[in-house]
Structure 1
Amino acid sequence: MIRRVLAVAALASAALATVPATAQAAPICRAGYMCNTQYFSDPARTNLVGVKTEFCDGEVSTWGRVTGYITWSASPCS
Structure 2
Amino acid sequence: MMIADLLDQEDLRERFLSLGIPVTQEQSPDACCRAALAWRTEQDRERKQALDEVIRLLISNSDSLLPEIKAAIQTCFPMNDVH
Same fold (TM over 0.5): no
TM-score, length-normalised on structure 1? 0.25
Larger Rg: 1
The structure with more strand, counted as a fraction of residues = 1
Q: Which has the higher contact order (CA 8 A, sep 6+)?
A: 2
The structure with more helix, counted as a fraction of residues = 2
TM-score, length-normalised on structure 2? 0.25
